[in-house]
Amino acid sequence: MALSTAGAITLNINGEKHTLPVDHRTTLLDALRERLGLTGTKKGCDQGQCGACTVLIDGRRAVSCLQLAVAAEGREITTIEGVADGERLHPVQQAFLDLDGYQCGYCTPGQICSAIAVIEEHAAGWPSAVTADVRPEAEAPPLTADEIRERMSGNLCRCGAYVAIVQAVARAAADTERAVGAGRAAGAEEAA
């Protein structure tokens, strides 16, 4: 008796549940683009090397061309279509727009999703390959241009907008840090 290679799965994408029948060999990228019409996530190399298909799964970045859709069931998936807050752009999106962190725009959705995760990883104290002191008790390194370049190195830009991308990530990180600091200050005032 042959086993079925298809079934229905439910994916939680950008806060909405989508139930769809898929072949178990379908990648998350193909399910997003071809089955759900979420074409913001781009297909580049289809080998996990360019980062154009980067999405967030449970808040962590993943190349969706190497992720099977069935393996993403029950997890929170965020695509570029889900990072803005209604009409208000995510700080990373706004920084990319303000600083021209794109040219043709093909890689931009993956760059933005990756940058969102980079900022969160850095804020959590995760070291990178260029972090000088990786001891657990060491302070988080400053988010320098070298740190950003290393952390974003899985995302290629064929147009070469790297200088503006690094600037956009740095600005978004600074804006996020200021917003978090203002939120803490407001919370402290309310508690007092």
Task: Using pLDDT thresholds of 50, 70 and 90, give the confidence band for residue 140.
Answer: confident
Question: What is the rounded distance in angstroms from the CA atom of residue 156 to the CA atom of residue 143?
Answer: 20
The CATH 3.10.20.30 domain(s) of the chain lie at 6-82
Q: Which CATH number fits domain 91-191: 1.10.150.120, 1.10.443.10, 3.30.70.580, 3.90.1150.10?
A: 1.10.150.120
Is residue 141 pLDDT above 90, yes or no?
Answer: no
pLDDT surpasses 90 at 168: yes
Has residue 192 got a pLDDT over 90?
no
166: left (phi over 0), alpha (psi -120 to 50) or beta: alpha
**Residue 178: band (very low, low, confident or very high) from pLDDT cuts 50, 70, 90:** confident
Query: At residue 185, does pLDDT exceed 70?
Result: no
Residue 73 has pLDDT above 90, yes or no: yes
Higher confidence at residue 172 or residue 141?
A: 172
Closest CA to 172 of 101, 80, 79, 78: 101
Mean pLDDT for the stretch of residues 91-117: 96
Instruction: For CATH 1.10.150.120, list the domain ranges present in the chain.
Output: 91-191
pLDDT value at residue 136: 81
Q: What is the mean pLDDT of residues 92-120?
A: 96
Q: With contact defined as beta carbons under 8 Å apart, do 115 and 152 qualify? A: yes
The per-residue pLDDT for 139 is 82
Q: For position 179, what pLDDT does the model report?
A: 74
Sign for the CA dihedral angle at 96, 102, 108, 111 comes to: negative
pLDDT at residue 70, as a whole number: 97
Q: Give me the pLDDT at residue 113, please.
A: 98
> Is domain 6-82 in CATH 1.10.3680.10, yes or no?
no
% of the chain surpassing 70 pLDDT = 92
Q: What's the pTM? A: 0.90
What are the structure tokens assigned to 79, written together? 């695509």
Q: What is the 3-state secondary structure (H, E, C) of the chain?
A: CCCCCEEEEEEEECCEEEEEEEECCCEHHHHHHHHCCCCCCCCCCCCCCCCCCEEEECCEEEECCCCEHHHHCCCEEECHHHCCECCECCHHHHHHHHCCCCCCCCCHHHHHHHHHHHHHHHHCCCCCCCCCCCCCCCCCCCCCHHHHHHHCCCCCCCCCCHHHHHHHHHHHHHHHHHHHHHHHHHHHHHHC
What pairs with residue 16 in β-bridges? Answer: 13
Among 51-65, 103-117, 142-156, 171-185, which stretch is predicted with the lowest mean pLDDT?
171-185
When comparing pLDDT for 177 and 169, which is higher?
Answer: 169
